[in-house]
Amino acid sequence: MTKVPAYATRGPTEPLSPFTIERRDPRPDDVVIDVLYCGICHSDIHQARDEWNNSSYPMVPGHEIVGRVVEVGRDVTRLRPGDKVGVGCFVDSCLECGPCKRDLEQFCEEGAAFTYNGTEMDRKTPTFGGYSTRIVVRDHFVLRVPESLDPAGAAPLLCAGITTFSPLSAAKTKRGDRVAVVGLGGLGHMAVKIASSMGAEVTVLSTSRAKEADARRLGATAFELTREEGAFQRLAGRFDLVIDSVSAPHDYNAYLRTLRPLGTMVLLGIPPAPIPLDATALILGNRRLVGSNIGGVAETQAMLDYCGEHGIVSDVEVIPAQEINAAYERVLRGDVRYRFVVDVSSLAK
């Protein structure tokens, strides 16, 4: 066991503060990674504050991790010290069940081992995330990060990137497709970047005109303020795909009617309460409403390779660990363009 510095919360109302955790000695199939950067995901806040009623403490959040390999177990052949790598939302699974064999490890029937606020596959040992200087992860779940990508900007790709790449890839998004992105935040800005790189005509649907300049800079060809009178009437039947990244309550039916016949609306955000659904918004036009989660290991690697080829990273504000609590409050106010990333070297200071 090796003791390493971390930032943790001891309870739902406690701030994050310096903490020491133990990382296991590498097993034959393990990779030891010195963490360089770790993104702050809104789900870190939900779990740190027990807003999903499943938190255990002490908790070290962080599942958007980029670092360098410092050691590998004797059975690891595809990685070596010095490689730039990433770790996403989960660090292990059974690898034997149906979903695992279909490269859907996130849906492991035994229950995947999530990067933090979970347990190892033994269901006893707690997992601690990337707000720490080192992490030890089973080889299969370590991803190669292209050297061409800025490591800080690449960190949010491990969650926000794959969460938006997955539905765009499933829809086989291509040149000429009309894609709407609802909400321009941590997820939405990645959806705009990736969809536009695929050749789609991207429209950002927002409640704030203040985001228009950013939307166009990120690759959107159009911007619509949904609070304007008649906005949804103008948008009726326009899009092939709607990527909805918003977790606040809003009217799904209005956005469904912006789809062309056979169009698809993909939900990425989770509102705090169920939202009523009008069946006619689906049936009249054979429209589809689907949800999408993170991707499996293979798809996440494909996303990283794609982003490396196209030079795509997240727009980030890099902060020291000592500013994590303030960053959480700024996330809740929407005061970030568009992802906070922790410089993990600050943990040693």
Distance CA 152, CA 131 (A): 14
What is the signed CA dihedral for 252, 258, 263, 268, rounded to 10 degrees?
-40
Q: What is the pTM of this model?
A: 0.96
The pLDDT value recorded for residue 185 is 93
Low-confidence residues of the chain: pLDDT under 70: none
Q: How far apart are the C-alpha atoms of 19 and 9, rounded to whole Å?
A: 9
Instruction: Determine the pLDDT at residue 349.
Output: 73
CA dist 272 and 160 (Å) reads 20
Residues in the chain: 349
* Neighbour tally for 230: CB within 10 Å: 7
C-alpha span between 117 and 123 (Å, rounded)? 12
> How far is it, in rounded angstroms, from Cα 161 to Cα 190?
6
Question: Could you tell me the domains of the chain?
Answer: 2-159+315-348 (3.90.180.10), 160-291 (3.40.50.720)
pLDDT at 348: 81
Question: What does the pLDDT read at residue 172?
Answer: 97
pLDDT on residue 347: 93
